[in-house]
Chains A and B, each alone.
Chain A
Amino acid sequence: MFKSFWRYKYKTILILISATSAIASIFLITALGNGIISMYASMLKTDGDIIVMQKGVADTFFSDVNRSLLEPITTMQGVKSAQGVIVGAGAIDIVPIAGIYGVTQNRLSNYTLTKGNYPNEGEVMLGESIASMLKQPKSIELLGTSFNVSGVYESEIGFENGGVVVPIADAQKLFNKQASFLLVSLVDIDKNSDAVIAKIQALSDTIEVKSTSEFIDNYNQFKIIRISSGVIASISFFMGFLAIVSLMSMMINDRRYEFGIKRAVGISQTAIIFHIVVEVIALTLFAFIMAYGISLFLLDQLQEYEKFQGYLSGEIDMRLFVQLLIGSTVMAVIGALIPALIAARVDPIILINRGQ
């Protein structure tokens, strides 16, 4: 098998490059899409089993919920705690856009301080990425208002690591809203969830109450990301498929002479096609391993790249790994089978003469 790869080394290399690029781009696009969804989902899930948003508003950035609802919510049976969060984005010094999170005192403890203290009013704390980008400043300009930097925190969530956290009272002034959403933690999510959701919903007809899991599954932005990355990944898959089909056709055309001889000496079409398929699977597996390695390396680099503020974070989970392994193998096998089956139908002497 390796002898034929060596004999057609340039085409083998081209096939490897095409397959590796196609697989790596699918890995990257899907992983980055999943990463963004997973980061935002973790942010919401960390503190809440239930999310309360303004009714009829699709995006958390545009939602405005009255914080006075926190009082009746926290006294409800089955509720462990509740808090308001403001999420927004804006220019921070030289950084044109970064996440701004207005949080209450109990949320602050979720951040691991690496330097300084939690912020009081008039202060902010910076995520590690943005602090490093701004060269550990003592104060910053946030949407035209000056704030002292109280400390630096580390978060596993890239969005938070690349943003700033301010006390919710300051965020209310900056964004002129009470809260983007309320997050409610339950004593036992399995027991209390539906009853608490119904009770909160009954408090006001201007709010929409969902479990955070349901919210994440139906959040429009996530759907857009999933669909966009799915479409781009499908295009990459199709382009990779076309490249492999055309390169395999070229390779099989080059090898018509060899296939003609093999058939002339009594080797069956099935055996010849099987041999081609085995070669292609070996090539694809090699390309897959290379693509996986390249993707892991690039995802790691993207996460570390300061200019992206840690916002680009990718995850290659087992499901994506297996799906892509099966998908790319099928793509390559079909790509090889089409020209091989066409060649198998031609009389051996014609294959030999055309292949000379």
Chain B
Amino acid sequence: MIEMINISHEYDGEQILHDISLIIPDKKFIVITGESGSGKSTLLSIISTLLKPTKGELLFDGTLIKKIPNINHFRNQKIGFVFQFHYLISHLTIYENIEMVTKRPRAEIEELLSKLDIAQLANKYPDQVSGGQRQRGAVARAMINRPAYIFADEPTGNLDSKNSQMVFDLLRKLDATVILATHDLSRIESTDRVLSLKDGKLC
């Protein structure tokens, strides 16, 4: 369970998020939506521990994030990220990008790549494959450690409709708490909860 208590965030003197409190139960599919500049990416970055809020507390399973003894290990084992831009490291192959984050055996990585239909691209570099294939590589990296939480920030922002649908379907099927930030609700067939943000506030 993720708990946010009175989270506010300020950047360059501008208030991005205002006093947000919410509870996200385990294994739910949550969508954060809002217009561009509404603060959804900032909120997602804070929930996913990638950004420290200016004010407020974040708890995972009742533990304050700042009390977690090894935040890097926590991120590695419990959290997976899928971003709008694939964020794969360009000088590593698709396989190496995944291998970098896990101690799981090669066979398991290859099995996951097969499931995502990119096994044949394992030794290609990100700039040698299509946008959809890159994003599937990013999804594979997010999934490899079987994390309890997956965060996706506009994961289909750069994809065509076919690839977008495929990524949404992939995320929907995961056995994890999935929090997805998107401005495009049209392709999401079902969700456990939609959080709407406007001017940094939950509506």
Contacts of B44-74 to chain A: CB distance below 8 A: 45, 50-52, 72-74
Q: Is B141 in contact with chain A by the CB < 8 A criterion?
A: yes
Q: Is A279 in contact with chain B by the CB < 8 A criterion?
A: no
Q: How far is the CB of A266 from chain B (nearest CB, A)?
A: 2
Chain A to chain B: the 10 pairs with minimum beta-carbon distance, closest first = A266-B76, A7-B91, A266-B75, A349-B50, A268-B72, A349-B45, A265-B101, A3-B91, A348-B50, A349-B51
Cα of A268 to Cα of B141 in the assembled complex, Å:
17
Chain B 86-103: CB-based contact to A (< 8 A → 1; otherwise 0): 011111100000001100
Cα of A350 to Cα of B51 in the assembled complex, Å:
8
Q: How far is the CB of B26 from chain A (nearest CB, A)?
A: 20
Q: Is B149 in contact with chain A by the CB < 8 A criterion?
A: no
Given contacts A261-B88, A352-B83, 19 further A-B contacts (CB under 8 A): A7-B90, A258-B89, A262-B89, A264-B50, A264-B75, A264-B87, A265-B76, A265-B81, A265-B100, A266-B74, A266-B77, A266-B101, A267-B72, A267-B101, A268-B72, A348-B51, A349-B51, A350-B51, A356-B85
22 inter-chain pairs at a CB distance below 8 angstroms, sorted by A residue, are: A3-B92, A4-B91, A7-B90, A7-B91, A257-B87, A261-B87, A261-B89, A263-B75, A264-B50, A266-B73, A266-B74, A266-B75, A267-B72, A267-B76, A267-B100, A267-B101, A347-B50, A347-B52, A349-B50, A349-B51, A352-B50, A352-B83
Cα of A356 to Cα of B90 in the assembled complex, Å:
12
**Other-chain contact of A6, B79, B89, B91 (Cβ < 8 Å):** B91
- Whether B51 and A347, one on each chain, are in contact in the complex, defined by CB atoms closer than 8 angstroms, is yes
Q: Which residues of A contact B45 (CB under 8 A)?
A: 347, 349
Contacts of A236-292 to chain B: CB distance below 8 A: 257-258, 261-269
Contacts of A1-60 to chain B: CB distance below 8 A: 3-4, 6-7
Known interface pairs A264-B75, A266-B73; A352-B51 also in contact (CB < 8 Å): no
Residues of B in contact with A (beta carbons under 8 Å apart): 45, 50-52, 72-77, 79, 81, 83, 85, 87-92, 100-101, 141
Q: Which residues of B contact A267 (CB under 8 A)?
A: 72, 76, 100-101
Looking at chain A's contact residues, is the secondary structure mostly helix, strand, loop, or mixed?
A: helix
Q: How far is the CB of B147 from chain A (nearest CB, A)?
A: 10
Which residue on A lies nearest to B70, using beta carbons? A268
| Chain A interface category by residue count | 20 to 34
Q: Which residues of B contact A257 (CB under 8 A)?
A: 87
Q: How far is the CB of B170 from chain A (nearest CB, A)?
A: 18
Which residue on B lies nearest to A258, using beta carbons? B89
- Whether B141 and A265, one on each chain, are in contact in the complex, defined by CB atoms closer than 8 angstroms, is yes
Q: How far is the CB of A278 from chain B (nearest CB, A)?
A: 15
Which residue on B lies nearest to A255, using beta carbons? B89
Which residue on A lies nearest to B80, using beta carbons? A265
Cα of A4 to Cα of B100 in the assembled complex, Å:
14
Q: How far is the CB of B193 from chain A (nearest CB, A)?
A: 23
Cα of A339 to Cα of B90 in the assembled complex, Å:
21
Q: Which residues of A contact B92 (CB under 8 A)?
A: 3
Q: How far is the CB of A348 from chain B (nearest CB, A)?
A: 5
Q: How far is the CB of A127 from chain B (nearest CB, A)?
A: 57
Query: Which residue, A257, A261, A264, A265, has most C-beta atoms of chain B within 10 A?
Result: A265
Which residue on B lies nearest to A265, using beta carbons? B101
Q: Which residues of B contact A266 (CB under 8 A)?
A: 72-77, 79, 101
Q: Which residues of A contact B79 (CB under 8 A)?
A: 266
Q: Which residues of A contact B141 (CB under 8 A)?
A: 265
Q: How far is the CB of B163 from chain A (nearest CB, A)?
A: 21
Q: Which residues of A contact B50 (CB under 8 A)?
A: 264, 347-349, 352
Q: Which residues of B contact A262 (CB under 8 A)?
A: 89, 100
Cα of A257 to Cα of B87 in the assembled complex, Å:
8
Cα of A268 to Cα of B76 in the assembled complex, Å:
10
**Other-chain contact of A352, B75, B76, B87, B101 (Cβ < 8 Å):** B87
Cα of A29 to Cα of B91 in the assembled complex, Å:
40
Q: Which residues of A contact B73 (CB under 8 A)?
A: 266
Q: How far is the CB of A271 from chain B (nearest CB, A)?
A: 8
Q: Which residues of B contact A268 (CB under 8 A)?
A: 72
Cα of A262 to Cα of B89 in the assembled complex, Å:
9
Cα of A348 to Cα of B71 in the assembled complex, Å:
12
Q: Which residues of B contact A348 (CB under 8 A)?
A: 50-51
Q: Which residues of B contact A349 (CB under 8 A)?
A: 45, 50-51
